[in-house]
Amino acid sequence: MQLTAPATARPDAAPTRRDADGMAVASFILGLIGLLVLNVFLGPIAIALAAAALWRGTKRRGRAFLGLTLGVADLVVLVIVMQMSNTVSWSL
């Protein structure tokens, strides 16, 4: 007895690309929000999502690169503010 996959369950690159596009947008939004709040958490998440989106071949490469840049900027802002206030945390 031979089992075959249904005709509708064929592998397709569209869902992966759509997921990658969503990751690129999410990384941009999280990086942007991370400049103001929770940058110690949102910065690395934005970096990871942007890297995953670029690795999966997103069509929104510009948005993924912006998310990557904003994620790095989140961490840089955190380090600068920590150095200025001589503490491990900061608040607005």
pLDDT in tens, the chain (92 residues): 565 555 555 455 556 667 888 899 999 999 999 988 888 899 999 999 999 999 988 888 999 999 999 999 999 998 888 888 887 666 65
What pLDDT score was predicted for residue 89?
A: 64
Domain spans in the chain, listed from the N-terminal domain onward: 16-85
Could you tell me which residues come within 8 angstroms of residue 19 by beta carbon, excluding any fewer than 6 positions away?
A: 56
